[in-house]
Amino acid sequence: MGLSERRACSIVGADRKMIRYRSRRPPDTELRARLRELANQRRRFGYRRLFVLLRREGEPSGINRIHRLYREEGLTVRKRRARRKATGTRAPIPVEAKPNARWSLDFVYDQFANGRRFRVLNIVDDVDLPPNFHPAAVRVPGGFTPSGAGGATGDRRSWSGLRSRSPVAVNVAA
């Protein structure tokens, strides 16, 4: 092109000092390498936590310098992989028609009249159920109720309003 530096800068509108500027900053190659190494070891750590690790190793640099190097190196916190979804359809557990072959477990939560909470583990044989059995129809026995929560007056609470999780079936090896 044959343009002088002065003429090219005036056309572009740039200052000549800006064009001639050379940074005097040291390259920080060792610090950059250590930062990259730590970021690869601790993939879920951002620049703040890496700064703490570098400080523990005796690095005197400030957090702003570490942040600048972290960005210049193109480092970012790695995303967690998504959980794998279950594929296919769930097959029901085969049930043998004999007692003690399969049991269902269920945790049930409730609280007494005085506000104290309790949790009950229901374990039920799937085959050997009494006729007309329904867990919500069972009442808490008087000995189960702690004193001060209706035990002295004989007032027992029904299990009809219990909050329950879905039951889990367990095969028992006979």
Provide DSSP, 4-26.
-HHHHHHHHT--HHHHH----S-
The tokens describing 68, both together, are 């600048």
* Res 48: pLDDT: 96
Cα dist from 56 to 51, 67, 162, whole Å: 9, 17, 53
The tokens describing 104, both together, are 């269902």
* Res 153: pLDDT: 45
Ramachandran sector of residue 100 (left: φ over 0; alpha: ψ -120 to 50; beta: rest): left
Cβ–Cβ under 8 Å, residues 39 and 27: no
* Res 132: pLDDT: 63
Where is pLDDT greater, at 112 or 144?
Answer: 112
* Res 103: pLDDT: 81
Where is pLDDT greater, at 3 or 139?
Answer: 3
Ramachandran sector of residue 31 (left: φ over 0; alpha: ψ -120 to 50; beta: rest): alpha
Residues 33-45: b if buried by 16+ CB within 10 A, e if exposed = ebbbebbeeeeeb
